[in-house]
Amino acid sequence: MRMKLLSFSFIFVVVFAAMYLSSCAEQKSPVVAQTQNTVKKESPVTNQTQNVNQPQIKKEPSSAVVSSPTIVSRQEWKAKEPQGKVKEHTIRYITIHHTASPQKNSTPIEKKMQSLQNFAQSESRLASGKMKPAWFDVPYHYYIAVDGKIAEGREIKFVGDTNTDYDPSGHALVVLEGNFETEQPSAEQQKSLQAFVAWLSTNYKVPTSEIKAHNDYASTACPGENLKKLLPTLREKVGEITKVSEKP
């Protein structure tokens, strides 16, 4: 009986030791897991960087009501850093412009944005003979190309720039590619413009009555007759999409 008990306890000890050893082996894995966790900890930083890079558009809760447009971000078109300093502002108006240069179907939007930034950030003499200073960045906040693609221009928190006589503080500046004194906004551009302005007016709580053209504020042909005459329809469509109440 005693022998039996001894051998039984021996088996018990062996089993226990085996269990202990295997649990020691398992203890190694949490170390690995911990290392993995440490690696994982870095990813939120990466995500954060990506979030900063991404236009705010994609994460706004209002997207449930007004669908978020796809935007080519500054990182995607390889924007250079802004230069110098500029004021920040709160958006109260949405103002529509044209580039006043011919539409180019075959040039990718990234190239168009790079050219616009190069022009914006250097001093030059305008067709009018007036000197344009080197600006902080692209003068407009958003660009809608002839194919309907939208790109992020100057960060919207910064006041835009103009060669004309009005203060762009508080204005979200949206430019469409083309010279609409002679050309027509393409069907794709019109579609993007409606969807995009609907999104913009919802996000910044801009009433449809404050969606206007550049030449409602300054003496200029911008945004060209053929685009200007689409603005009543734009306001109507945006109103339907957003139901943003107008100011009394």
Interface residues with Zn ion (CB under 5 A) are 97, 214, 222
158 - beta bridge partners? 88
Residue whose CB is less far from Zn ion, 97 or 141? 97
Give burial (CB, 10 Å; 0-12/13-18/19+) of 105: exposed
Task: For tokens 């580039």, name the residue.
Answer: 99
The answer to whether the CB of 139 falls within 8 A of the CB of 161 is yes
Least distance from C-beta 140 to Zn ion, angstroms? 8
Least distance from C-beta 220 to Zn ion, angstroms? 6
CA torsion angle 242 217 163 69 (round to 10): 10
Helix boundaries (H) for 91-130: 109-120
Least distance from C-beta 214 to Zn ion, angstroms? 3
Backbone angles phi, psi at 152, to 5 degrees: -80, 130
Residue whose CB is less far from Zn ion, 199 or 217? 217
Residue whose CB is less far from Zn ion, 171 or 214? 214
Least distance from C-beta 223 to Zn ion, angstroms? 6
**Rounded CA separation 133/119 (Å):** 10
Residue whose CB is less far from Zn ion, 68 or 99? 99
| Helices H / strands E in the chain, number of each | 5, 8
Least distance from C-beta 181 to Zn ion, angstroms? 12
Least distance from C-beta 201 to Zn ion, angstroms? 19
Residue whose CB is less far from Zn ion, 145 or 222? 222
Residue whose CB is less far from Zn ion, 143 or 242? 143
Amino acid occupying residue 120: A
Number of residues assigned to the chain: 248
Least distance from C-beta 190 to Zn ion, angstroms? 18
How many alpha carbons lie under 13 Å from residue 164 in its C-beta half-sphere? 14
Residue whose CB is less far from Zn ion, 54 or 119? 119
**Rounded CA separation 159/149 (Å):** 23
The answer to whether the CB of 98 falls within 8 A of the CB of 108 is no
